[in-house]
Structure 1
Amino acid sequence: MDLETRIRLWNHSHIHIIDIRRSRMRAQEALRSYRLPSSAYIYVLFGQALIQLDEERTAASAHMLLHGGKGTVLSIVPEDDFHYYMILYKATPSLPKSRELLTLLDTSSPFQERFCMTVRSPVLLEQKLLEMDAAWHRPDSSGKLLVRASFYQFVNELLEQFEEWGALEAEAETNVALQAVRYIEEHYHEPITLELLEELLGCNSRMLLRKFRAEWNTTPIDYLIQIRLGKAKELLAGTWSAVKDIAEQVGYTDHYYFSRLFKKHTGMSPLQYRASAASGTVAEYDPSLMSRLSIAGSRLQRYIGNGINNHYQYRKRGEYTMYSKSRMSVAVLLLCFAIMLGACGGGNAGTNTNPANGGTANQSSTQAATQTPKTDASGSESRVVKHAMGEETIVGTPERVVVLTNEGTEALLSVGVKPIGAVQSWVGDPWYDHIADKMENVEILGDELQPNLEMIASLKPDLIIGNKVRQEKIYEQLKQIAPTVFSEDLAGDWKINFELYMQALNKEAEGQRLMDEFDKRVAEAKVKLADKLATKVSIVRFSASQVRIYQKQSFSGVLLQQLGFARPESQDKDSFIEVMSKETIPSMDGDVLFYFVTEQPGQNEAAKVVEEWMNDPLFQNLNVAKNNKLVQVDEAIWNTAGGYQAANLLLDEIVAYFTAEK
C-alpha cells in the first residue's frame, strides 16, 4: 500500500482508543494465543522476546514496532526481562462513506495489516507513547482527548518514517544522530541538554557527539542554537513580540543571555536585526571580516620563542629597526657580562667538573639538572601536563584561571585559587549555596555546555581548565586563548580529575594534603559506621522527564563504595545510572532510599512526578516506603557539584544520618 493511500484512509476514519497498556514480562512468563480484540500496535521498550502474530514469528528487541488487526493471534515468549507497550484501537470509516473508500478498506486496510519493523528514530515515537500513557491514567475527561491527540501524532510520525525509509519490513541500525536532530527540531523550545539527549537515545555523550559530528559536521548543542536562532529570526522579522517573549518561545529563560548569543551569531542585537529585516538590509554575518578568530582580537601579540617579549611592532613608536637593535644590543651586553662573571667564579673546587684539571665530573649534579623543570627567560619553571587532549606546557603558577566545569571550580577553591571566570552551577543563582560566598565577583561564563568564548578571551587567562566530554569541540579555540588542560570524563571517581587540576595549577603538594585529609576522614567514618555498612543504600533521582537509579560510578556511588556500604542488586554495578519505568519500581528498593529532585526554576513538574510515583501501589509496597526510610537530599551535594567540597559535605550528611539513626 502506498503512502498516499495510507494517509487518505487514516484521514477518513474515526479512531477510538480502547486501551493503553505498558507491560513487563519476566523470562519465565509467557503470553500464549491471545486473540487481539481490536487493531493493535506493540512497541518494544527493551528486552528480547519471540513474538508470533498468527503464523509469523519475529525475534523482537528494543525499538521494534509490530501491528496486528482484530482477531490476530498474539504470543510472546520473553528471553529476559521484557518491557513493551500495547495500544488497542478501533478505526471506523467516517460519514459519508464513499464506495471507493469502502473498497480500499476491504482490499487494503492499514488497520488490519500485520507487520513488524525496527524503528530508526524511536525517540519521538517513545515520547508520544509516554504522553499517551500519562494521559490515559488521568482521572479527568480531558485525558482521553489528549490520548487521541497523541495517538494521531504517533501515527503521523510513523507514516513519516515509512516515507523516509521505505518498506515496512526494512530493518536498519538506529541512526542516533538523526534521532537527535528530529528531537531537537520538535522540542527546541524546551530545556535540552546533552545529558537529556544521552538519556533519551540510550547512548553515552561521547558516542553521540562523534556520530552527530560525522553526520552533520556540528554538535547537538550547536545545532540546537542554530534552530533556536533561526526561529528567533522568524519571530523578530514577522512579529512585534518583545525580545523577552521571543527568547522564552525559542527556549531561553534568560533574555539577556539570549541577546548576547544572538549578537554573537548574527553580529547584531535582536532589535537591530528586527530593524534591518524591516528595511530589507539583513546581510549574512561573517565574523572573519572582523577578526581571523571570532574569539580573538584582530591582532594577537604573540610571544617570540627566545623568551624576549618583542612586541614593538604593535606599539607604533620610534623607528622600528633602530628600536629593535637597541634592545638587542642591551641584551648582548648583559649576556657578555654574565659570561665574565661565570668565568671569574670558575675556580670553586666544589664545582670543578673538568677532568683535565684533576677534577671529576659531578654526576649526581648533572643528573639532577636533567630532572629539574625547564625555566623560561624570566626564571619561571615550566612543566608539561598530560591531559585528555594531549600535552600542555605551563609556565610557573597560573594566577588568572578560567574553569569550565562545576567540579573543577570546587577543586580550585579547595586550594585557595579563586577563578577569574567560571561556568555557572547547575543549581543556584548562579552558584551552589556551599560555594557562593567564595565566588563573589567571579565572571559568569555561561554553563558547561555553552561556555562564552568571547568572555573567556576578554579575561586574558593564563590557564583554562575544561572537560573533553563537555567542550571537546572548542578545545582548539580555547587553546588559542591560553594554555588549556582538559579532564577526560565527568562520571566515576572525582579524585582523578582533581589530581590533574592540581598538576595544572602547580599545587600538587597542597592537593595531595587535601586528599590525605579526606581519605583519613573516610577511614574514620568507616570505623564509626561499621555496624551500619550492611545497610543497602538506594539512590534515586526524580525529574520531569524521567526517574533514575544511581549506581557505583556516580558521584555519591563512589563515596558509598569507599565507605563500604551495601547497595541494592540493581545499583551494585560498575555503571553510572539506569532509567526506571513504573514496572521496575521494585528494583529501587533498599533499606534506605535517598532521593533528590531536579526541578526547573519556577516549575513543579518534577514534584508532580515524585507524588505520582510515590503514590503508585508498587512504590508503596517497597520496604523503604513501608518503613518510612525515604530521605530527600540536596541534588547539588549528592550529584551535580561533583567536587572536593561537595564530597566532604556528602560525607558529613551520610555520617550524620546513620549516627542519628536508631
Structure 2
Amino acid sequence: MPLQEQASLWSDTTIKTLDVRSGTLPPGGVMSETGLTANLLLLAGGGEGGLVMNGEVCHVRASFACHAVKGSAFTLTAGSENIHYTVIIYKAIPMTGAAHVLFPQRNHPLRTSFVHYPVLPAELHQAADKIVAKWSRGEGLERFHANALLQGVLYELIMEHERGRGGAESDMVDVVAAYIAGHYRQELKLKELAALAGCGARQLQRRFKQEKLLGPMEYVIQLRMESAERMLRHTDATIGEIAERTGYHDMYYFSRAFKKYYGVPPQRYRRTAASGTGALSACSGLPDRLACSYESLQGPVICHMRGEYCVTASPRRIAVLDVQYADHLLALEMLPAGSVGLGSAALNFPPYIRDRLKATEMLGTYEYPDLQAVERLQPDLIICTEVHDQHYERLRRIAPTIMFKRNESWQRILSLFGELTGKRGEAERIITDYIRRTALLSEELAPVLAGKSVALIRPRESVVRVHTASHRTGAVLYRDLGLPAPLFVADTSDTAYHISVDRLPAVHANHYFLLSNEMMQEGISVTEQSVWGMLDADGREHIYPVDAATWIGCYGPTGINYIVDQVARALLA
C-alpha cells in the first residue's frame, strides 16, 4: 500500500473504548476469552504465567502487554504469584466519510495479535491506572480522556513492537542467557529455555546464535567448562565431584566433554596448571595486557599493562595506589609500606582492615594519589592501575612500577602477588578456600532461594543502578555463589542497567542488596529514600542495606570474603 494511503488510514481512524476492567489473578488463577467481539488489550504486571493465544503457547513474565484482535481466543494462567491486570476492550473504526475498509493489510498492528514486553513498564501501568480511573467515572469528558489515553498507549506499544524494541524478539537472548548463568549447573533443555523466552526452539536457536555466536545449549556447555576449569586450577576436588557440581552426573561423559572443549583431559589439565608449564603459562598476545606470569632463569616475570617485571628478590617496601592491593598483601601476611585510602575530607582505610594498617602511610586517595608522599616513602615497588597512567612515568622514576587493570580478577592478582612476595602456596590456599567456601554456601542457599531471585541495586542521584554478573560484586553473587538473578538482569557486558526509581518494580526480585552511601554521606540521599519507600510499600521484598564503599571499592580477598559473610547472614537468617 502506498505510504500516503497508509498515512490516510491512520489519520482517518478513531479509537473507541468499549469496556475497562482491572483486577488480580491469584496463583493458579485462569482468565479466558473466546471469540472476542472487539480488540482486547491486556496490560499485566507482577508474576509470571502461561499464555495460550490462538493456539500458540508461550511463557509470560512480569510486566507484559497482550494485544488480541477481534475473533481471537486466549487463556492466561497465573504461576506462583499474583498477576495484576488491566483489560481494555476497544474498536478501531473509520471516521465519518473515511474509507469503509479499515487496514486491509493483514499484518497491520491493529489487526495483529502479539505479546510485547514494554521498555518502560512502570509508565505503561501508570497510564493504565489513569484509564481505569477515567473510565470508572462514567460518561462525558472523563471517558473522552480515557479514549485519548488509550490511543497514546497503543501508539507507544505499536512503535516499540514495530521497531522490535523490548519485545520477545529483541530481549529473548538476554532473558535466556541470564537464566542459564544462574542455572547452568542444573539439567536444562532447549524446549524449556524456549518456553521461558516465549518463542519456539528454532527461533531461540537462531536468535541466540546471531547475538552470542553460539547456540543456547553450547552456551550452557561454555559456562560449565569455565566453572570446571576454575575448580581444576584452584581446588583439590575429585573429577567426579567437579563433574557433579557442573551439571554432569556421568564423570566419564564430563571428561570427554572437557577434553573436547580444552583439548586435554581434566586430570592432565590440572597437572599442567599446577606445574605452570605448557600452554597454560603463556601470556604473549593476550588482549589488553591481561596480568600473567612466566618463569625465567632469573626468576618469575610478571606481565602487566606497561611491560614486564622480573622478581629477582621479594620487595619489602611496597606502595599500593588501590586499597584492594593493600588487602591482597594483608591476606599474605605482608604489610604495605603505604596505601591510598577512602574518603574526601577525612581519609581512612576500610573499616574491615583498618586495625591492621595502623603502621601504613596514607598516600591520598585512589583518584588523587599523593605523589609527594609516595616519594617520601621511598618504596622498592609501586603497584597501581590504569587510572594512574598519567602518573606512570613519575612513579617509575621513584621505584619499579607495576600497572594492573583495576577490574582484573582478584584471584589472578592474588596469584601474582604470591609470585612477587614468594608466597605462591599461601595465595593458592586462599583461592582454594574461597572456591570451596562459595561452592558449599551455594549448595546451602539453593533450597532457601528456590524460585526466588536476588538483585544488587545502588541508588545514584536520580537513577538506580541494577548490577549484573559482569560487575565484580555481581560476579560474587551470581557466579561464585550461584544466586538466581532476576530475569530483568541480562547476562551482558554492561556492568549495570540504569533505571528510574519508578521502574524498580520491573526488576521483580524477592531479595535486594541495597548499596547504600549512608556511611559516606552521613545520611541517605533522596533517591535512596524513594527506593526504600517503593520497596517497603510492597512488603514482600527483603531489603539488606550494605556499605557501597566496601562492596564496590574493596576487591581483595578479605573484602570479598566480607561480602560473602554478609550475604550468608542476610539470606540464611
Could you state the TM-score of these two structures normalised by the residue count of structure 1? 0.41
Q: Which has the higher contact order (CA 8 A, sep 6+)?
A: 2
Q: Looking at CA atoms only, which structure, 1 or 2, has the larger radius of gyration?
A: 1
